Structure 1
């Protein structure tokens, strides 16, 4: 029975290896195709050099021609011609997007690393270093308790994190970003784990209260909310709704808008 289990696990590992190898081959072929397109398009740009005004005039002429072609389309062949125009424009837009945007691969960054640093030292095999070599610097630049708000997409939530105390920022960083345990954070800050747990609860309560106020203001102004934001309002309405009805607190976003006025 044990041999069957080992054989099954080996087959499963081989399946994952083959899947990653196929993904790596597809990724390399896509990169080669993009490089080839770059060379061809760069050659065309070098051969056809025109002033910026003429290029803009040519683009406007093409847009007007496409609009007239759409209005005058009557037969099936005419609609196929319009569709071919749009397919060509979308292909050009996708090509330009691929040139300037760095996409993350489907292959895990730590896949294929040599165990126990046999070939390469450990820092070069880290996820941060692999992101740097691929041109992704944001996670490394803002990997700091006092700048982690730069990685948050929502500006109101980022501002709420930015306005926390330095002590709260450190505890939140070690807990949420580094995933350290309470005992480890307590050892770093020379405190007890119960004190760290109390500080974490204070941070979460403050951020949740601020986020609840922000989402309520967005809901009152009829701004669209995603599913997770709606679930958050439903879960914490019983906790913060009474306080908001008695004395509506102003969120940081509202204060910033008033300061600008």
Structure 2
């Protein structure tokens, strides 16, 4: 289709180590209350090709379940590249480069051009260690009351706003113990070697520089230091739950809008 329209198609994909990618997906899914799994349970599912609360189909299209196995997942693109399609796989933050700069280099543009800075409100923020702990607790409370995350308005911002309200400045969540790090690394080791050779003509370790070694990170999680602290965290979760339940009650009690109200709201 691109050829017919006179365009040259260039597909650029960032590749993150599975350690980094699974950790990120855990935080992403938890802050949206898709589940209340422990990190260890989530990793176990990820190694089996299961993504919590993600449908197996999107319309008539079957979802791939091997999303963390890059050698398998990107076979169609690797084959298309061999046939002439322009495809670039970029190791995420290789050499500590900013991903934007990596992307700009990949499409042969200059980083010295006057690029417009991204407004801070659009930054991709993730909750810290206390936020992740609170998100899991709140997700469990929502599950107990059969409240689907799909009906919660702006669900992804609830924990982030609570962190701001509480003035929490916590380190980033990193759920791996040394044992779990080795388990995940060994699970993908063979196929990562195949993928790196096909994508970059080098080893996986060479593609991901030593400054980007996820397996060297220390575990960073939150555990309440006392019963009083845990009670305060539970109180925060109950308060957020109450707010969500009130919002749901208000939606149910509000009368449905007539078609004329939608067309002429200010008449």
Settle same-fold status: TM greater than 0.5: no
Relative contact order, CA 8 A, sep 6+: which one is greater? 2
TM-score by length of 1: 0.22
Higher fraction of helix: 1
